[in-house]
């Protein structure tokens, strides 16, 4: 989820990013003019429309946009790493939920209380969402997306 704090602390460097190694200097210049924190120094709409990368060739100029290419293999590898990261995050959430349940069982046993073991899908999903939300607030590295199942009629 985007927030003002996250956007205002955004920092980007094309030098160390392997995804932009085939991107032209003109395209990088255009993007870097948009990623300026100070609003007064950021490119306006008119500046963007007058930028050579958007405007295209003028007379003898080479079309700089044709020099920029997007590598499909880079996009695929990015998607694969993103899927892998989501799977790891899900395992982390499951481990934390298991740890929390074990802790609750141990505490209830020490206090000589009974433990509710009946499974109720409605309350279980509500409790899981509450617990997952609590866990994701404690650890900002975990971003949990809960999707509702679509019912087919």
Q: What is the token pair recorded at 104?
A: 């609750």
Residue 44 pLDDT: 92
DSSP state of 111: T
**What is the pLDDT at residue 107?**
83
Query: Domain-by-domain residue ranges, the chain?
Result: 4-67, 86-138
The per-residue pLDDT for 78 is 82
DSSP type of residue 75: H
Answer whether 0.85 is exceeded by the pTM.
no
Segment 35-57 mean pLDDT: 85
pLDDT band of 146, cuts 50, 70, 90: very low
113, 148 in Cβ contact below 8 A?
no
- Residue-wise pLDDT tens digits, 4-19: 555 555 566 666 666 6
**Whole-number pLDDT of residue 98:** 84
b/e map 50-82, b = 16+ CB within 10 Å: ebbbeeeeeeeeeebbeebeeeeeeeeeeeeee
For residue 102, pLDDT beyond 70: yes
Please say whether the beta carbons of 26 and 52 come within 8 A. yes
Residue scoring higher pLDDT (102 or 131): 102
Of the candidates 18, 38, 144, the residue with the CA atom closest to the CA atom of residue 85: 144
């Amino acid at each position: 989820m985007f927030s003002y704090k996250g956007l205002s602390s955004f920092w980007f460097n094309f030098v160390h990013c392997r995804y932009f190694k085939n991107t032209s200097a003109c395209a990088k210049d255009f993007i870097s003019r948009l990623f300026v924190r100070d609003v007064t120094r950021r490119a306006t709409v008119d500046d963007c429309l007058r930028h050579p990368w958007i405007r295209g060739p003028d007379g003898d100029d080479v079309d700089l946009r044709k020099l920029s290419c997007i590598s499909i293999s880079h996009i695929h590898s990015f998607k694969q790493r993103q899927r892998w990261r989501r799977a790891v995050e899900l395992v982390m959430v499951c481990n934390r939920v298991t740890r929390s349940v074990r802790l609750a069982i141990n505490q209830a046993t020490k206090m000589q209380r009974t433990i509710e073991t009946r499974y109720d899908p409605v309350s279980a999903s509500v409790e899981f969402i509450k617990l997952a939300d609590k866990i994701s607030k404690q650890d900002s590295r975990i971003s949990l997306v809960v999707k509702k199942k679509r019912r087919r009629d």
